[in-house]
Structure 1
Amino acid sequence: MAEIRAPGKPRILCLHGFRTSAKILETQIHKWPESVLEKLDLVFLDAPYPSTGTSGVEGIFDPPYFEWFQFQVLQDHTEYQNFEECIAYIEDFMVQNGPFDGLLGFSQGAALSAALPGMQEEGSTLTKVPKIKFVIIISGAKIGGSKYSAPRLAANAFLAPIKCSSLHVIGEHDFQKTEGLALIESFVDPLVIHHPKGHTVPRLDDQSLKIAHNFIEKILKLATT
């Protein structure tokens, strides 16, 4: 049964990181102040596949843990498993529980969130749902990054500039920092929050909170159009 949409709030599908869960991302996001959260209708989704290995959050957050798709770096390319099935799973959820205005993702979920608008624009996926109006990318990167190949379905996701509004959250000590900075260049209308931490959902200091509020004002207008 579809959840009731909160009136006047942008409805956002939230995609968690590799080998974590919807509950974990919800806990992480709720470090953000109520002045941000009260304006957003956040829906958290577990990835379709149980973790196939050790989770980086074991001992910090309780299981179960999930992953969106699997990958293996080979000598000259990257091999992906279940990527197309993952995209179909997300689209089915959006059909049944939407409409969604935008996406929020952390880590592996951020890579998906960043790629999906371009994939939708070229007509390779998300053809059954309204156009994605904005994305919030936390510790993100292009799928495959700068060194490895992308899945076939996402191969053209960044050929054209991504026109939807975007907010990028990048940590000074995040191992994804370089890839996250490169990702910004693919978006035509990015706002960026820099924080001093690593690969995490950070708390928002005064400067970050101002940027977040500016972005929310922008997407509030988009959600009503």
Structure 2
Amino acid sequence: MENETQNKKLKILCLHGFRTSGAILRKLVERWPQPLLEKLDLVYMDAPYPAQGKSDVDGFYDPPFYEWFQSDEGFKEFYNFEECLEKIQEFMLSNGPFDGVLGFSQGALLTAAIPGMQREGVALSKVPKVKFVIMASGAKFGGSKFGIPKLASDAFSTPITTPSIHIIGETDFMKEESIKLVESFVDPLVIHHPKGHTIPRLDDKSLDMFCNFIAKIQDLP
């Protein structure tokens, strides 16, 4: 029975960054070592809205590019946020059930709020509560950089007990926001890397940390 548990792949919904795509996130994540990828069933979703402006990755990756929701220039007012969560829930119902969620950048901003929104019963209430979250270049709604959408208003009102991995780049412009996000979680696992705003390759130490985390999740009921 124990071997069955450890051999069971964890199904993870992957949410890409702002004005990129699921295909682009797949290319970044699939650089991770095979011993880790073999433990995961990664499912990539495209955000519901076409990019409403130029993408920072245009010229490096092929379009189309998408965004999860929109905001004003100061990131204080958000638009299409509820609709975005409805689309994610529909996708999870059609393609799940999912064990966890992985998010990068704008996708990580969303991912970080999911456990709290599920706890409060305001979003993704038709799907099972996620067992864990993984955030690269993450941030929290209501932090110093971002306002807070109505649906996420209580997402961080109490510490998040959902197991979490936080991937933080040394030269990432989101580094300070990512560090503040860590403080909202109980017993977070933090993986540092020397790069900037990206999904990094994993060195041996990071790989060991990641695999140990996954093994613990696999043992959960």
TM-score range relative to shorter protein: over 0.9
Q: Is the 8 A contact 2:15 2:103 kept in 1?
A: yes
| Cα displacement (A) at 1:189 | 2.1
| Cα displacement (A) at 1:73 | 3.2
Aligned equivalents of 1:194, 1:170: Cα separation in 2: 5
* 1:58 corresponds to 2:83: no
Aligned to 2:109: 111
Aligned to 1:24: 24
Q: Secondary structure at the match of 2:72?
A: strand
In structure 1, the gaps of 5 or more residues are 1-6
Q: Secondary structure at the match of 1:78?
A: coil
Aligned to 1:44: 44
Aligned equivalents of 2:87, 2:185: Cα separation in 1: 25
Q: In the alignment, residue 53 of structure 1 is paired with which amino acid?
A: G
Q: 1:206 aligns with which of 204, 207, 219?
A: 204
Q: Secondary structure at the match of 2:77?
A: strand
| Cα displacement (A) at 1:99 | 0.7
Residue by residue, what CA displacement relative to the aligned partner does 1:47-82 show, whole Å, maximum 9, x if unpaired? 0000000101111111000000001135xx711110
In structure 2, the gaps of 5 or more residues are 1-6
Aligned to 1:96: 94
Aligned equivalents of 1:90, 1:37: Cα separation in 2: 23
Q: After superposition, where does 1:1-225 map in structure 2 within 5 Å? A: 8-74=8-74, 78-222=76-220, 225=221
Q: In the alignment, residue 194 of structure 2 is paired with which amino acid?
A: P
Using a 3 Å threshold, how does the CA distance of structure 1 residues 106 and 147 change in structure 2: closer, same or farther?
closer
4+ residue segments displaced more than 6 Å: none
Residue by residue, what CA displacement relative to the aligned partner does 1:3-60 show, whole Å, maximum 9, x if unpaired? xxxx811111000000000000000001101011000011000000000001011111
Q: Secondary structure at the match of 1:174?
A: coil
Q: In the alignment, residue 216 of structure 1 is paired with which amino acid?
A: I
Aligned equivalents of 2:37, 2:145: Cα separation in 1: 36
Q: CA RMSD in A?
A: 1.2
Provide TM-score, normalisation by structure 1: 0.93
Q: Secondary structure at the match of 2:125?
A: coil
Q: In the alignment, residue 25 of structure 1 is paired with which amino acid?
A: L
Using a 3 Å threshold, how does the CA distance of structure 1 residues 122 and 208 change in structure 2: closer, same or farther?
same
Aligned equivalents of 2:141, 2:53: Cα separation in 1: 20
Q: Secondary structure at the match of 1:53?
A: coil
Provide TM-score, normalisation by structure 2: 0.94
Aligned equivalents of 1:95, 1:32: Cα separation in 2: 27
Paired residues, number: 215
Using a 3 Å threshold, how does the CA distance of structure 1 residues 193 and 37 change in structure 2: closer, same or farther?
same
Q: Is the 8 A contact 2:145 2:177 kept in 1?
A: no
Q: Secondary structure at the match of 1:73?
A: coil
| Cα displacement (A) at 1:144 | 4.9
Aligned equivalents of 1:91, 1:23: Cα separation in 2: 20
Using a 3 Å threshold, how does the CA distance of structure 1 residues 87 and 214 change in structure 2: closer, same or farther?
same
| Cα displacement (A) at 1:148 | 3.7
